[in-house]
Structures are given as structure tokens and as C-alpha cells.
Structure 1
Amino acid sequence: MDNTIQTYFENLQSGDKNLQYEAFNNILDATKVEVDWAYEVWDQLVVDLTNSDNHERARAAQFLCSLAKSDPEKRILHDFSAVWEVTKDKKFVTARHSLQSMWKVGLAGTEQKEMVIKHLVNRFNNCPSEKNYTLIRFDIIKNLSNLYEVLNEAEIKNTALNLIEKEEDKKYRKKYSSVFQV
């Protein structure tokens, strides 16, 4: 890992919220492509998924999702359940930020994509008992849309459209459909 990336990770612990936010965004930007330093931070990020600080949990989940494409050992297959747990965090903002990053895991390979889609579909079908379930459903559809935009696989779009059709409330069905401009 070069000094710049190392500094970004160090700045996440800064007392200066602006410096933390800048570091967070710089790390996400760096992980838009494959990186060779994923395993230098991987284990600590997995530990941070259960940190007492909700910001640490959210960042860890988002970073691991982004680093999945830089994971030739496929560690994400083992660690996914811990990452997924953060999407159900007691702090809704933490849960939501984590959920919104899940699609990135699907870019790592076929196994990862199928795992993510399975979890998203299951969550969509079972989340009506959760608080803010309409936002969760929107984020799930957006995840599928993001995955579809990158991979351009009709099966992903069809999965999303089938989920949208299950929504009984016309207002929300229309909102979810807007993601795919149906």
C-alpha cells in the first residue's frame, strides 16, 4: 500500500470530521478499480464490522464491498454474512449505507454476484416487517440497477422487475419502477 492510501486510512481516525470524510471518499475512489493492497486492510475491516462506533461499522462494510473485486482468494464469500449483518444495523443510517454498497460485491465474480442477488431478493421479500422497509426495498432495487448497469445482464433486470411487481402499493411500485425507468 502506498503512503497516500495509508494516510487516508490513518485520517479515518482523525478528530477532524472533514478530514475523515475526505479520507473516506478518497478510499472509495481508489477502490473503484482493483487494488493490490486489499488484504493489508481486509482483516481489520472485518473486525470493524462489529465496532462499537456505527461510523466504523458502516465504513468497514462499504470498503469490503468495494474491495471484493480485489479479492482473488474470494474471502468475501466467507465474510459476506458479517458484512450483510451491518445492513440490519440498529442505526438505520449505518444499515442503509451498508446496503447501498452491496451491489459492488456482485462485480467480483459469478459466485459473488449470485450470492448478492440471492440475499437482495430474500431481503426484499422478507423486509415488510422491518421499520423503513420501503426505503430498504428502494435500495435493493437500486442495487440491482447498479449491478445491471455495469454487467448488462438481462437476468438481473428481470429479477428487479419481478420484485417490483410484487409491491402491492402502487405509489411504491411506481417509485421502484423509476429506478429502471419502466
Structure 2
Amino acid sequence: MSFSIEEYVKQLHDVDKTLQYDAFVAIQREIEKPVDWAYEVWDQFTGWLTSNDAHDRARGAQFLAGLSKSDPENRILNDFSSLCAIAEDEKFVTARHALQSIWKVGLGGEEQKNRVVDYLVSRFREAPNGVHPTLVRSDIIVGLRNLADSTRDESIEGIGAELIETEADPKYKKKLIASWKKKKV
């Protein structure tokens, strides 16, 4: 069976929730590796970032993050702030889906990786002032771990360790350390 991005994107809005889910999984699976069709859907996915539909915002963010490795024009650099906005969406579930995927932007190149790390560090530091700070911080640590493992960038190892050290609550610090040690990718 051949992959048709157009068909799967169409199915994301089908009334049948099973078809929607299957399409989502198929696209996610496909973008685990570089694809040659990224720009066929890029503008559509960036458009979803401003949708009134929280599912579209989350999907748009997740797909764009995954497509970063298929972005030789580096379009994601222009769209990164919009992606970050979704990672801080008013709807927490939407924000969390985006935040859990944003590390994948760092697979697109050195500048992308630096932007992701800078954003995640800043977000980690600001998390106590927001909603569900422990979940947000945990997602950030897992994202940094994934990025460090995927890029074999030892500097990210140090950054993750430094962030964990800033946690004052010993119980939660222990959980962050456990999350950091697990291989997630």
C-alpha cells in the first residue's frame, strides 16, 4: 500500500474517529524519516497553527516539528515562534502535544537545534509560573534527552543536568533524574 499524504490529511478531518487516528499515526510514522513531500503540506500545517480547532493546532505543531528533518529550505526557522506559541497554547492538552514534539525541530540542523535548546531552557525556567509546572518540566527534560540522544550532542547532556539541579523539591528532582536517564527515542 502506497502512502498518500493528501489522503491521510483528508482523513484527519473525517467523521470516523478511527480513520482520523489511523491517518494521524500513519503521518507520524512516515515523518520519522525524511520525506520528499514536506512542502506539499507545509503551508496547510502552518495554517493549522492558528486554527480555532485545538486538534488542528496540535497536529500542525506535531507534524511541522517532525518535518523539520525534511526542510532543506529551513522554513521551520520562520515558523518556530508559531510552533512555540502552540507549545504554550491556552488548551493544556494541545500545548503538551506540541511541547512533547518540539525537540524534533532540532533534528533539522544546527540553528534549529540551538533554537530548540534555548526555548526549552527558557520554558523550563518559566514553568513554575504556569499551569502544571511539573508536567511541563518533565516533558522538557524528556525532550532534551531525546534531542541529546538523537544528535549525540554532549553539550545538551550538560544542559539537562544543570536544569535538573535547579529543582528544589528533592522528590521531584528524583523523578526528573529518572526521566533523564531513560532512553526515550
Q: TM-score range by the shorter chain?
A: over 0.9
The alignment partner of 1:18 has SS state of helix
- For 1:3 and 1:151, how far apart are their aligned partners in 2? 28
- For 2:150 and 2:141, how far apart are their aligned partners in 1? 14
Q: Which residue of 1 aligns with 2:57?
A: 57
TM-score normalised to the size of structure 2?
0.95
1:98-109 aligned at under 5 Å gives the runs: 98-109=98-109
- For 1:17 and 1:105, how far apart are their aligned partners in 2? 28
1:1-182 aligned at under 5 Å gives the runs: 4-181=4-181
- For 2:125 and 2:29, how far apart are their aligned partners in 1? 32
Give the ranges of 4+ consecutive aligned residues of structure 1 lying more than 2 Å apart after TM superposition.
2-5
Q: 1:181 Cα shift?
A: 2.6
Q: 1:179 Cα shift?
A: 1.7
Q: 1:173 Cα shift?
A: 0.7
Q: Which amino acid is the alignment partner of residue 104 of structure 2?
A: K
- For 2:117 and 2:148, how far apart are their aligned partners in 1? 11
- For 1:131 and 1:90, how far apart are their aligned partners in 2? 10
Structure 2: stretches of 5+ with no match in the other structure: none
C-alpha offsets along residues 120-161 of structure 1, whole Å, 9 cap, x if unaligned? 000101121101011000000000000111112211111001
**Fraction of identical pairs, as percent:** 49
- For 1:68 and 1:10, how far apart are their aligned partners in 2? 22
Q: 1:3 Cα shift?
A: 5.9
Structure 1: stretches of 5+ with no match in the other structure: none
Q: Which amino acid is the alignment partner of residue 81 of structure 1?
A: S
C-alpha offsets along residues 9-59 of structure 1, whole Å, 9 cap, x if unaligned? 110010011110110010010001111111111111111101011000000
- For 2:65 and 2:4, how far apart are their aligned partners in 1? 21
- Residue 3 to residue 106, structure 1, CA distance change in 2 (3 Å): closer
TM-score normalised to the size of structure 1?
0.96
Q: Which amino acid is the alignment partner of residue 71 of structure 1?
A: D
Q: Which amino acid is the alignment partner of residue 58 of structure 2?
A: A
- For 2:16 and 2:86, how far apart are their aligned partners in 1? 25
Q: Which amino acid is the alignment partner of residue 69 of structure 1?
A: K
- For 1:52 and 1:125, how far apart are their aligned partners in 2? 29
